[in-house]
Amino acid sequence: MSSKVETVKVPLEKLTATLPPRASVALVGNPNSGKSTLFNRLTGMKQKTANFPGVTVEKRSGKLSIDEIPIELIDLPGTYSLTPYSTDEKITVSVLLDRLENETTIDAAIAVVDATRLYQSLCLVQQLIELNKPVMLVLTMIDVAKQDGIQVNIEKLRNILQGIQIVSVVATSGAGLPEFKSELVKLITREYGDKDSFWPELREKAIEIQAQLSQEKAATPVHEIERALIDSTVEFDDPTLMGHVSSTRQSLCQDQAPVAVEARQRFLLSKQIVEQVQTSAPPVSQWVARLTTKINQPIPATLLFFLLMAVIFQAVFAWATPLMDMIDNATAGTGQWIEGLLPTGMLSSLIVDGVIAGVGSVIIFLPQIIILFLFIIILEDTGYLARAAFLSDKAMRSLGLSGQSVIPLLSSFACAVPGIMATRVIPDRRDRLATIIAAPFMTCSARLPVYALLIAAFVPNTNIGFLNLQGLVLFGLYLLGIAGGVFTAFLLKRSALKGPKPSFMLALPEFRVPNLQTVLLKLLDRARIFLKRAGTIIFFVAVIVWALSYFPRSESIQSEKQAAYQQAQATLNDEALETRLTDIDNKAAADQLSQSWLGRSGQFVAPVFEPLGWDWRISAAVIASFPAREVVIAVLGTIYAVGAEADEATLSERIQSASWEDGTKIFSLPVVIGLLVFYAWCLQCGATIAIMRRETGGWRWPLFAWTYMTLLGYSAALLVNFLF
């Protein structure tokens, strides 16, 4: 026994003899019951939480200690029973049943139960108690239950559940956490008595099977045999054991599906329990209930969804512009200030043209990112994301998919990486693959700055009716992304991924007014992630790109510049001289850039993009942004910082006036549209490719997606240049 344990203030009756140094405790429960919220509360971590089922799709662990007792807490995907259907549920069940090799085993489990959905959760609770590991129950959403007039008699419930500890909490506010923590300590330090099975017939049959096994095979745990009796995907190496299992399954279930037999058994008991321990009164405030019913009606819900979307797209420009201008002017001002402070030379160029022009031009999109995430968080926390899945199921069916794909696809508006992870909830492999390939088409938050830069620079800020044109164009680009993804999924489901029609079922979350504190914390976290990215990856890229544009220094250009200076000073005066000197500076800077490494490689790849009407600078920026889209802004920022006129302080102004040698603008209408379409459809994201490889288990699908999307983006931009 470690000395730490003995200093516990809680009265300890009997310590279990084999208490490990750090007890690992799993949070288990139905989807959307508040596991991750509780996990975050206890560990201080920032697991994603949202109001729809299937938010957590992987195992995560965090550390905490209560009264100096160290605990490893494990957050798991939600599940309704120990018979898993989808990848995320399989993870939970494997962890609980110690099916994974090389993983620490679970010492205890916390059954997380949404107090408003007691009935649905009691099946899993029965199964958990039967695993014969210490289990306690925590009732969450007590605040919502009160609102709804639902009361649970904890004493009665505890008696029925063979005396396991039960506490109630409000995970979002932290109410009830102190009691919860002290109960948790008791759970892992006190003796936990054996519990009876809630389904004795199944237990007896499993014990019978185990008794028939030879000595060395008898190590197969009873609960694993029980699961095998129900879940035909469980396999044992031993053929005699498999034989026993399938004959016993036959006698247990006759011709019924074993899962249905278990559901009937478990939920019949759940129903009896709920009838004994739960009392319902009418909801506290009738109008909330009435309002919820109203806005959940299909047509109002759809209209509200589009209204919210329209408001956000308007807001991205209307609200963000003043803020952006402020950041923009601040960065430009800082640049000019440093330029004045430092002597002209390498250091000044690195800071002004590299860091400030590169990183600064990305940072100014922070307000837009915040507004976008506000929209996403509202969708997630009200429960609308799941409602959208319900509303669009019929439309998705005509594509060969189901509403189930909608949640991962809408999540990809933030980033395709979590979107692709979220496809784990889709049971069928083909549907899951089609959704994975469609996900990178959704307009992610890294595309937003690229769109915003080009739209703000080239789309007039006028109104059409009461809608802002810039907002409309942005909306159009989102639709373009959706169209690309939907079309691709449609083709795939008709060819390589042809399969049976997917079914659809979903536990719809209750509509909830988002918790202000939660929303603000999530927004802050988003801002932090964005700024951190700008300060690390983008900073790194900006410095490299600057170095590539600065070196090698050409002696001949410098001496030519000196000669031109002297000639000008000898022949011109005052204003004419000023203008002439600036011209000389700009020409020297442009010549230097075009013979730099960046210029040379840009000119090397330029022929590939020439048919699209792009110059070598755009080509270089586009190529550099294949690992991450928003890099294009940093690169353009650095490239166009070189030789910029003094009155063109911002990147937007600089690209507006960039011109070819003959004076025509580089960013012509076809070039701008071509770029937008290219960014809408091209797969320029190393992280997405990596996650695709991991989730599909090979390079085949990511390579296909990359080639297909790049060709699609290129062809579309080519077509645009050809048409306009």
Partner 1 sequence: MSLTLADLKPGNRVRIINVDTADDAVVRLMSLGLIEGVELEFINSSLGGDPLELRLYGSAISMRREQARHFHVENTD
Ligand X SMILES: Nc1nc2c(ncn2[C@@H]2O[C@H](COP(=O)(O)OP(=O)(O)OP(=O)(O)O)[C@@H](O)[C@H]2O)c(=O)[nH]1
The Cα 237–Cα 474 span in angstroms is: 57
Minimum distance, C-beta of residue 277 to partner 1, in the bound complex (Å): 12
Closest to Mg ion by CB, 15 or 45: 45
360 binds, among Mg ion, partner 1, ligand X, none (CB under 5 to 8 A by kind): none
Q: Are 152 and 118 in contact (CB under 8 A)?
A: yes
Site for partner 1 (CB under 8 A): which residue of 36, 43, 81, 127? 81
Three-state secondary-structure class, residue 703: helix
CA-to-CA dists, residue 439 to 410, 412, 593, 680, angstroms: 9, 6, 38, 12
Regarding 353 and contact with partner 1 (CB under 8 A), the answer is: no
By CB under 6 A, tell whether 688 contacts ligand X: no
Given a contact cutoff of 8 angstroms between Cβ atoms, the answer to whether 54 and 88 are in contact is: yes
Q: Which of 1, 17, 211, 299 is the binder for partner 1 (CB under 8 A)? A: 299
How far is the C-alpha of 77 from the C-alpha of 310, rounded, in Å? 33
Residue 316 engages ligand X in binding (rule: CB under 6 A):
no
140 binds partner 1 per the rule CB under 8 A: no
Stretch that binds ligand X, among 24-32, 209-217, 230-238, 555-563 (CB under 6 A): 24-32
The pairing of strands 463-464 and 467-468 is: antiparallel
Least distance to partner 1, CB of residue 301, Å: 9
Considering only 96, 391, 618, 682, the residue that binds partner 1 (CB under 8 A) is 391
CB 88 to Mg ion: min, Å: 10
Task: Please choose which of partner 1, Mg ion, ligand X, none residue 260 contacts, taking the beta carbon within 5 to 8 angstroms, the exact cut-off set by kind.
Answer: partner 1
| Nearest CB to partner 1, comparing residues 510 and 560 | 510
43 binds Mg ion (CB under 5 A): no
Taking the complex as a whole, how short is the minimal distance between the CB of residue 79 and ligand X, in angstroms?
Answer: 8
**597/551 Cα distance (integer angstroms):** 6
Tell the smallest beta-carbon distance from residue 113 to ligand X (Å).
10
The greatest distance separating any two alpha carbons of the chain, rounded to the nearest whole angstrom, comes to 109
With CB cut-offs between 5 and 8 Å by kind, which of ligand X, partner 1, Mg ion, none does residue 503 bind?
A: partner 1
Note if the bond before 552 is cis, omega within 30 degrees.
yes
Which residues within the stretch 454-513 sit at the binding site for ligand X (CB under 6 A)? none
Q: Mark the segment that binds ligand X (CB under 6 A) among 141-149, 341-349, 595-603, 628-636.
A: 141-149
Binding string to partner 1 for residues 82 to 121, with x set by CB under 8 A, is what? -x-x------------------------------xxxxx-
**Residues 150, 359, 589, 666: which binds partner 1 (CB under 8 A)?**
150
CA distances from 223 to 38, 135, 608 (A): 28, 15, 62
- How many C-beta atoms lie closer than 10 Å to residue 178's C-beta? 12
Q: Which of residues 56-85 bind ligand X (CB under 6 A)?
A: 56, 77-78
Minimum CB distance to partner 1 smaller for 328 or for 380: 380
Determine, following the binding rule CB under 5 A, whether residue 51 of this chain makes contact with Mg ion.
Answer: no
| Chosen residue from 5, 25, 26, 33 binding ligand X by CB under 6 A | 33
Residues in contact with ligand X, shown as a per-residue x/- string from 517 to 556 under the rule CB under 6 A: -x--------------------------------------
Range list of H helices, 133-199: 142-147, 154-160, 177-189
User: Strand 278-280 vs strand 166-168: parallel, antiparallel, or unpaired?
Assistant: unpaired
Comparing CA positions, the residue from 530, 545, 527 lying closest to residue 355 is 545
- Measured from the CB atom, the residue of 507 and 606 that comes closer to partner 1 is 507
Residue 530, C-beta contacts closer than 8 angstroms, at least 6 positions apart: 366, 369, 445
Does 264 interact with partner 1 (rule: CB under 8 A)?
Answer: yes
55 lies in the site for Mg ion, by CB under 5 A = yes
> Is there binding between residue 298 and partner 1 (CB under 8 A)?
yes
Q: How far is CA 528 from CA 454, 521, 522, 534, in A?
A: 25, 10, 10, 10
User: Per CB under 6 A, does 408 bind ligand X?
Assistant: no
- Residues whose CB falls within 8 Å of the CB of residue 26, separated by 6 or more in sequence, listed in order: 73, 74, 76, 95, 96, 106, 108, 109, 110
Q: Is 148 in the site for partner 1 (CB under 8 A)?
A: yes
What single string gives the DSSP state of each residue in 515-537?
A: PHHHHHHHHHHHHHHHHHHIIII
Residue closer to Mg ion (CB basis): 5 or 42:
42
Nearest Cα to 355, choosing from 541, 530, 619? 541
Q: How far is the CB of 511 from partner 1 (least distance, A)?
A: 10
Instruction: Indicate whether 199 belongs to the interface with partner 1 (CB under 8 A).
Output: no
Q: Using CA atoms, how far apart are residues 402 and 395, in angstroms rounded to an integer? A: 8
Q: Which segments of 34-185 are extended strands (E)?
A: 60-66, 69-75, 108-114, 135-140, 150-152, 166-168
Instruction: Give the total of residues touching partner 1 (CB under 8 A).
Output: 44
Query: Which of Mg ion, ligand X, partner 1, none sits in contact with 302, Cβ below 5 to 8 A by type?
Result: partner 1
Q: Which is closer to partner 1, CB of 116 or CB of 596?
A: 116
Q: How far apart are CA 1 and CA 319, in angstroms?
A: 61
Query: Shortest CA distance to 649 belongs to which of 339, 365, 366?
Result: 339
Q: Contact 274/118 with Cβ under 8 angstroms?
A: yes
Token output for 704 = 């296909």
Q: Give the tokens for residue 602.
A: 């840009």
76 binds Mg ion (CB under 5 A): no
Using CB under 6 A as the binding rule, the residues of this chain from 156 to 195 that contact ligand X are: 170-172
Q: Provide the β-strand partners of residue 140.
A: 114
Q: Work out how close the CB of 490 gets to partner 1 at its nearest, in angstroms, rounded to a whole number.
A: 18
Q: Determine which residue in the list 24, 30, 33, 36 makes contact with Mg ion, applying CB under 5 A.
A: 36
Q: What is the spatial distance between Cα 40 and Cα 33, in angstroms, rounded to a whole number?
A: 14
Q: How many chain residues are in contact with ligand X, going by CB under 6 A? A: 27
Residue 56 makes contact with Mg ion by CB under 5 A: yes
Looking at 67, 68, 98, 143, which residue binds ligand X (CB under 6 A)?
A: 143
What CA–CA distance (Å, rounded) separates 610 from 232?
59
Alpha carbons 87 and 96: distance in angstroms, whole number: 15
Residues of this chain that interact with Mg ion (CB under 5 A) are 35-36, 55-56
Residues of this chain that interact with ligand X (CB under 6 A) are 29, 31-37, 49-51, 53-56, 77-78, 140-141, 143-144, 170-172, 381, 515, 518
Residues of this chain that interact with partner 1 (CB under 8 A) are 80-81, 83, 85, 116-120, 123, 148, 150, 256-257, 259-260, 263-264, 267-268, 270-271, 274, 293, 296-299, 302, 390-395, 403, 503-510
